[in-house]
Structure 1
Amino acid sequence: MGNKRKLVLFISTSLDGYIATKDESLDWLFKVDGEGDNGYSEFYETVDTILFGKRTYDWVMKQGIKELPYKHKECYVFTSSPLDDKEDVKFVNEDAISFTNKLINQEGRNIWVVGGRELLHSFIKVKLVDEFIIKVAPILLGSGIPLFKEGGYQLNLSLKGVRNFNQFVELHYVVKK
């Protein structure tokens, strides 16, 4: 068996730690000068599986796209409601931790936690996330949806690297286990 798959968060945030405004807008993110795709394509090639919470999936689908932009990747959406799978996504109505542990133990590339905050929090609480790749934008939102939820955990991290993409700074951390 090859290397163990990793569960990785790859996300952008404001300098004050928000991933979106209170009305779930990301408009602020596109006003910051980046460089190319800010490392997205490079990261995207390292994953073959993508995980969403239902709210994040619904938000993505409300953006006027006809299909998920994650071609040729296994996409799973965790939901408490039984839903029929679609061509490009499977809806999971079971415990996210158990299901994700099964995925981690299968052959494959890394697994990307796209969001949302509740799903990420459940993974952090049980120390399931292996790496955090966070793009920090030079903007203070003052309020909004914070990247991390309060409560009941502490993770010790080790800095793997820092890169900049024009005005964005990428912080890459590995979780000390």
Structure 2
Amino acid sequence: MSKNRNVVLFIASSLDGYIATEDESLEWLFNVEGEGDNGISEFYDTVDTILMGKRTYDWIIKENPGEFPYKNKECYVFSRSIIENTEDVKFVNGNINRFVNKLKSQEGKNIWIVGGGELLLSFIEEMLVDEMIITVAPTILGKGIPLFREGNQQLNLSLKGMRRFNQFAELRYKVIK
């Protein structure tokens, strides 16, 4: 365990930069032939804390009724509303910068931003993302929920590595601060 924890975006995207269709479907993602679990379990072992937005949380609950997929991790959901914590997650509606920097100062593994695009925009604008691992599917959606929302952010990145999982290409970037 380390106090040098990184906030890491680990996500899949279509070639044209969408993380889901307009109706929040990921069916297109499962139609692509990958290899094994496309590196998810290897990555999952490097994190002990998960961050997500309320829309992503709601989608996960809808798609996985009765079985929260991140039970063995500390999980925080960012929401504009005050919501009572559950057995699986703690809801956060305060200052993102202060909250994330407090997490980063604690001992532990890396911190995973699961989604979504709106939360990611806030993290980028606050310069809270340290690394991005984007697995690109050979699919063009044309429209949908964008990975990167329009905003006043500009990030410079450094390519750390690339891997191939059959038809998927994983791109690993370090955020230059």
- Name the TM-score class by shorter chain: over 0.9
Matched, 1:76 2:76: yes
Which string of whole-angstrom CA distances, capped at 9 and with x for unpartnered residues, describes residues 26-49 of structure 1?
000000000000000000000000
Distance in 2, Cα, partners of 1:48 & 1:143: 33
Find the counterpart in structure 1 of residue 138 from structure 2.
138
Q: Does 1:105 align with 2:105?
A: yes
Q: Distance in 2 between matches of 1:105 and 1:172?
A: 24
Aligned residues: 177
Residue 9 of structure 1 pairs with residue 9 of structure 2? yes
1:27-46 maps to which residues of 2 (within 5 A)? 27-46=27-46
Instruction: Deviation per CA, 1:24-80: give whole Å up to 9, x if none.
Output: 100000000000000000000000000011011001111142132012100000112
SS in structure 2 at match of 1:43: helix
Please, what TM-score do these two structures have when normalized by structure 2? 0.97
Match of 1:124 in 2: 124
| Unaligned ranges ≥5, structure 1 | none
What TM-score results when the alignment is normalised by the length of structure 1? 0.97
Question: How many Å apart are 1:123 and its aligned residue?
Answer: 0.7
CA contact (8 A) 1:97 1:122 kept: no
Residue 109 and residue 64 in structure 1: after superposition, are their counterparts in 2 closer, same or farther (change >3 A)?
closer
Q: Which letter maps to 2:27?
A: D
Match of 1:158 in 2: 158
Percent identity of paired positions between Structure 1 and Structure 2:
67
Instruction: Write the distance in 2 (CA, Å) between the matches of 1:87 and 1:77.
Output: 13
Which runs of 5 or more residues in structure 2 are unaligned?
none
Q: Do 1:24 and 1:145's aligned partners in 2 also have CA atoms closer than 8 Å?
A: yes
Equivalent pair of 1:8/1:111 in contact (CA under 8 Å): yes
- Distance in 2 (CA, whole Å) between partners of 1:64 and 1:159 is 34
Moved more, 31-40 or 94-103: 94-103
Alpha-carbon distance between aligned partners in 2 of 1:25 and 1:2, rounded to the nearest angstrom: 36
Residue 24 in 1 paired to residue 8 in 2?
A: no
